Structure 1
Amino acid sequence: MRYTFLWAMCLATYAGTAQNWQQVGDFNRFVSGPLYNDTTTGLLFISGANRFNGTDTLDGFFTWDGTEFVSLGKGRSDCGNVGCGPALFLVRYNDDIYFSGPGLEKIDTVTLRGIGRWDGLQWSAGLLGLNEAVSATPFLDGYYLHEGNLYASGAFRTANGDTCNSVAYWDGTKWTGLDFPGDGFSQSVPRVHNILFYKGELYVAGNFYVFLDGEWIADIARYDGSQWHAVGGSIKGGLADIWDAIVYKDELYVCGYFRKADGNVGNKIMRWDGEQWKEVGEGVCSPSASARNMLIYNDKLLLGGIFDCVDNGLPVSNIAAWDGERWCSFGNSVFDNSISAMAKYQGTLYIGGGFTEIDGQPVKYFAKWVGDHSTDTCSALVVAAPEPEQAARYALNISPNPAHSIVTLALEGEIWGGKSVRLSIFNALGQEVWSAMSVSGREKVSLVGWPTGVYVARVELERGVRTEVFVKE
């Protein structure tokens, strides 16, 4: 399938203010995440590098109920005078909350083996049975709940004594490994950040190098229930890494650090439809950018990290929104540092990261969205062009072009078949300015009061989308 990229960009400065974002808490260090919206208790569980919220001690693990922060016991025992080590894994399974991270040896004086279990009152060691190596502490990173089992990935060599190389599932009683291959590059434990099911198969992604299907494969693989396989070849580039993976609109999205220049389909983000890799617009265009996390929020895919543009130059600042067809900024605010974690809680978007200023105003480490999207800018639509034989069988005609006060959109061709279709027009910012459902396939549109400039007319058909450009003088 060919793709037509229609791009128009507003050369505007960032108009947002810190009023789009409101600081939550008064943390002494960054909130690296993860953030977990626990629907059972109605609490937002949070992990961060911060020891303190103002003068209150939180020690790395705590909850937020929309009004106040509450520590979980006495928190991590490895917190220094200033901050705490990272946590990567945070999820409810059955009746308890589980935390995990590199070097997690003690919480609230309780000795652990990389995984802590919180029952609502106290800590204990959780999900026992994993080991990394002779002396290193195993830890978990990704998770996926499937058919009553907790599928998990991270960095561990064995599960209940069986070699499993960082991929296993917990059935409520014991671990079962899934025989993932060992890392062939360093002979170390594979570093698997993400695990999830897509179209009935198990996918894992991260930073690893394994031998599958007769070749060396980097950073992503799939399991069909009995064997592991490559996913559209290998992620390319010596420094490539996949940081996050999510299913959005029936496609598997991955983000991280990988580049088209190294032979990948996309820049820092791309999508897999079960058969092939596809771009996400033009991806992240910042050369040294890192796309760290994704979240589905109000039917859009949010991308967070540290980057300053997406697509062919749409200016953004460490967060952007993709709706399946085009990129948009999110609030047009400017962050001075990265966004590391995102969650939707009580209908509101919360973010954590290393930022200390937004739009030049002091907003540090943890914030919630309180703004609107009136200043957002978008790339033009990324639409699938019809195949040549289909294109010859229908056309979207625009007349006159250029137009002054009125323009006529007329759909012609046998592939249309006289069915009701949706016609729409977008301005140069990618904003929809007119739309209608048409039975006749012919609509007259008044342009009175419209700014002069370039517009894109679009028609949606069962077999594809067709666009045409016209000018309003």
Structure 2
Amino acid sequence: MKRFILLLIAIYFSIAAFCQSNYWQGLRSGLDYGVHVFFEDTVENVLYVGGEFTKVDTMQNVFCIAKWDGTNWQKLGSNLNNYVRAIIRHNGYIYVGGDFTIAGNIDANYIARWNGSEWDSVGSGTNGPVWNFQILNNELYAMGSFDSAGSVVVHSLAKWNGDQWSDVFALPKFDTDGINFIFNLAYYNNELYVAGNFFNGTDINDIIKYNGNSWEKVLGGMYGGMGSVNKMLIYQNELYIAGGFHQSEGNIGNNIQRWDGSQWRTVGMGTNTTIYDMKIHKNELYIGGQFSYVDNIPAQRIAKWNGTQWCALKGIFNNAVYSLGFFRDTLYVGCGTTIDGDTINYIAKWIGGNYTDTCGILNNIIIENNQNSEITIYPNPATNILFIQGEKILEISIFNVIGQKMKYLLNYNQNEIEININELKSGIYLITVITSNGNYNEKIFKE
């Protein structure tokens, strides 16, 4: 009988090991509802998680925000009475924005701050939801859908200096019958860019910039009546935007495109449907959303871009990936309830190491270079040694034709590099060189 019981136990653990995804892992028993935002706090060395949940693992009455130390969950006081959509650290506080009006036992209109032991209001807050934060010049910028912050009239964008609210360069109200929906802010090439979902009826659509004197359009803005810019960030010296927009509506890209200061450019062929979040980690751009294809390759709701090529991450999600975060160099996602058929309940972390699934073919890409980067790569074709000459070379990456990174060299800050490529098989490779003046890409042939 004892042997039979031991056999059953062995079978049980064998099945459990078989069912466990090789690429994703849930956090204990997960959450009871979705995640909107991750924030890695390097001060406390914890991951803050905000969303719509009221339960984490077996802990009840955790209303919309909690923190994860890599092993255990912790509550923040008596929490909030509605969703959390934004989290950031600023001047010793954790600031939280969302749909709530109460934090702990105090009135907190859509924004509150946590000092490590209790909640506090941020002035008198805003009169509508806060969806994102950004810090510029030691001031906290809040974005969302509101027309007042404290007693100041604003149009969904305001800044907090620690004592009081103010508007941001008198950002106008674009739709006279409605309200601006501001999701993102970025400072790029000495200009302040704001993006979201807004339209003035003519030529300002979902993105605008402040040039130091006035607000102005970014070319013709975005096209398509139902589109929006969900995320915006700076990657490899270009401004990337992602959301729900398409080439068929007149845009340059499909749900993602990039701005170099004067024109829009594609990011491969983009995705087949909406992108909800973007994050940068170790010089790679990660996206999550509703999509099932990126660059015409299968990508089940998550993928990454290295500046020249898309690669999918392994995993089949039963719902969209709504949020991305990194904690201790590990990717976390806010998603549905299963991955690869395994129950994970709205939150999971990547355990697949450097593995990537399908990648786009490098032979099909157009090599685009920064004209300010004067790089010489020789010989080409090469046999064993490759020489790279240029001003202040910072990083070098070599990819094969299926997108695998074969070599990576970092922080040289030199003008000439000698690379041994003897171990590479014969064939075509793409070499990407990042310098102080920009990026350079070139195809090379290894004999």
Q: 1:310 to 1:109 in 2, by over 3 A?
A: same
Residue 307 of structure 1 corresponds to 291
Residue 69 of structure 1 corresponds to 73
Deviation at 1:367, TM superposition (A): 1.2
* Contact preservation (8 Å) 1:266, 1:279: yes
Residue 185 of structure 2 corresponds to 195
RMSD of the alignment, in Å?
3.8
Cα displacement string for residues 157-176 of structure 1 (whole angstroms, at most 9, x for unaligned residues): 13454432111211111111
Residue 47 of structure 1 corresponds to 50
Bigger RCO (CA 8 Å, 6+ sep)? 1
Q: 1:108 aligns with which of 104, 111, 115?
A: 104
Aligned positions of 1:459-470 closer than 5 A: 465-467=441-443
Deviation at 1:300, TM superposition (A): 0.5
Q: 1:181 aligns with which of 151, 172, 177?
A: 172
* Contact preservation (8 Å) 1:384, 1:465: yes
TM-score calculated relative to the size of structure 2: 0.80
TM-score calculated relative to the size of structure 1: 0.76
* Contact preservation (8 Å) 2:288, 2:302: yes
Cα displacement string for residues 376-398 of structure 1 (whole angstroms, at most 9, x for unaligned residues): 332133343589xxxxxx99976
2:340 is equivalent to residue 365 of structure 1: no
Question: Which residue identity lines up with residue 290 of structure 2 in the other structure?
Answer: I
2:27 is equivalent to residue 24 of structure 1: yes
Residue 270 of structure 1 corresponds to 257
Residue 251 of structure 1 corresponds to 238
Question: Which residue identity lines up with residue 404 of structure 2 in the other structure?
Answer: Q
* Contact preservation (8 Å) 1:143, 1:196: no
**Identity rate of aligned residues, in percent?**
31
Aligned positions of 1:37-436 closer than 5 A: 37-57=40-60, 58-77=62-81, 85-102=82-99, 104-128=100-124, 130-131=126-127, 138-178=128-168, 179-184=170-175, 187-210=177-200, 215-284=202-271, 286=272, 289-311=273-295, 313-330=296-313, 332-353=314-335, 355-381=336-362, 382-384=365-367, 427-431=400-404
* Contact preservation (8 Å) 2:198, 2:206: yes
Q: 1:410 to 1:19 in 2, by over 3 A?
A: closer
* Contact preservation (8 Å) 2:50, 2:86: no
Question: Which residue identity lines up with residue 256 of structure 1 in the other structure?
Answer: G
* Separation in structure 1 between the aligned mates of residue 350 and residue 288 of structure 2, nearest angstrom: 14
Deviation at 1:338, TM superposition (A): 1.4
Deviation at 1:19, TM superposition (A): 2.2
Cα displacement string for residues 122-169 of structure 1 (whole angstroms, at most 9, x for unaligned residues): 1232242533xxxxxx22222221111112211111345443211121
Question: Which residue identity lines up with residue 244 of structure 2 in the other structure?
Answer: Y
Q: 1:315 to 1:130 in 2, by over 3 A?
A: same
Q: 1:252 to 1:67 in 2, by over 3 A?
A: same
Question: Which residue identity lines up with residue 352 of structure 2 in the other structure?
Answer: G
* Contact preservation (8 Å) 2:141, 2:159: yes
Cα displacement string for residues 321-378 of structure 1 (whole angstroms, at most 9, x for unaligned residues): 1011111122x2221111111111122221112x222122222211111112345332
Question: Which residue identity lines up with residue 249 of structure 1 in the other structure?
Answer: Q
Question: Which residue identity lines up with residue 252 of structure 1 in the other structure?
Answer: L
Question: Which residue identity lines up with residue 90 of structure 1 in the other structure?
Answer: I
Q: 1:458 to 1:154 in 2, by over 3 A?
A: closer
Structure 1, unpaired ranges of 5+: 1-15, 78-84, 132-137, 388-393, 399-406
Q: 1:446 to 1:156 in 2, by over 3 A?
A: closer
* Separation in structure 1 between the aligned mates of residue 307 and residue 276 of structure 2, nearest angstrom: 19
Question: Which residue identity lines up with residue 105 of structure 1 in the other structure?
Answer: T
Equivalent residues, number: 413
Cα displacement string for residues 271-309 of structure 1 (whole angstroms, at most 9, x for unaligned residues): 11111111111111x2xx210001111220100111111
* Separation in structure 1 between the aligned mates of residue 421 and residue 277 of structure 2, nearest angstrom: 44
Question: Which residue identity lines up with residue 223 of structure 1 in the other structure?
Answer: Y
Deviation at 1:113, TM superposition (A): 1.5
* Contact preservation (8 Å) 2:33, 2:54: no
Q: 1:226 to 1:129 in 2, by over 3 A?
A: farther
Residues 88-97 or 318-327, more deviating: 88-97
* Contact preservation (8 Å) 1:44, 1:64: yes
* Separation in structure 1 between the aligned mates of residue 396 and residue 112 of structure 2, nearest angstrom: 55
Aligned positions of 1:434-473 closer than 5 A: 455=428, 465-467=441-443
* Contact preservation (8 Å) 1:17, 1:333: no
Question: Which residue identity lines up with residue 228 of structure 2 in the other structure?
Answer: D
Query: Helix, strand or coil: the match of 2:36?
Result: coil
